[in-house]
């Protein structure tokens, strides 16, 4: 480091501090969720996973949407 660079450097500005609770706060889900287990056709599940990965989506979100669409159509 040259002397000219040293003169430009000053004390580091500190970032605002957060409490531990604020730092490690978990996000609240948009709506209550339930864990479940399903037996799916292996080929359909592979296709679903590929679709999810290529579209940067979570499989559970896609399943939620598919179930909601199905129920809406049948009402």
CB atoms within 10 A of CB 45: 13
Q: How many structural domains does the chain have?
A: 1
User: Count of residues for the chain?
Assistant: 75
Nearest to 65 by CA among 52, 50, 47, 46: 52
Q: 6-23 in b/e burial notation, b at 16+ Cβ within 10 A?
A: eeeeeeeeeeeeeeeeee
Q: Is there a domain that residue 45 lies in? A: yes
Q: Is there a domain that residue 23 lies in? A: no
Q: Is there a domain that residue 3 lies in? A: no
Q: Is there a domain that residue 46 lies in? A: yes
Per-residue pLDDT averaged across 9-32, rounded?
A: 72
Per-residue pLDDT reduced to its tens digit, 22-64: 777 666 667 888 999 999 999 999 999 999 999 999 999 999 9
Q: Is there a domain that residue 20 lies in? A: no
- 3-class DSSP state for residue 67? helix
**pTM score, whole prediction:** 0.56
What pLDDT is stored for residue 19 in this prediction?
A: 76
- Residue numbers of the domain that contains 49: 41-75
């Amino acid at each position: 480091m040259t002397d000219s660079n040293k003169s430009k450097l000053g004390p580091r500005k500190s970032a605002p501090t957060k409490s531990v609770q604020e730092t490690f706060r978990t996000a609240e889900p948009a709506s209550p969720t339930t864990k479940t287990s399903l037996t799916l056709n292996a080929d359909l599940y592979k296709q679903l996973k590929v679709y999810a990965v290529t579209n940067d989506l979570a499989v559970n979100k896609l399943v939620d949407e598919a179930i909601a669409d199905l129920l809406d159509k049948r009402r």
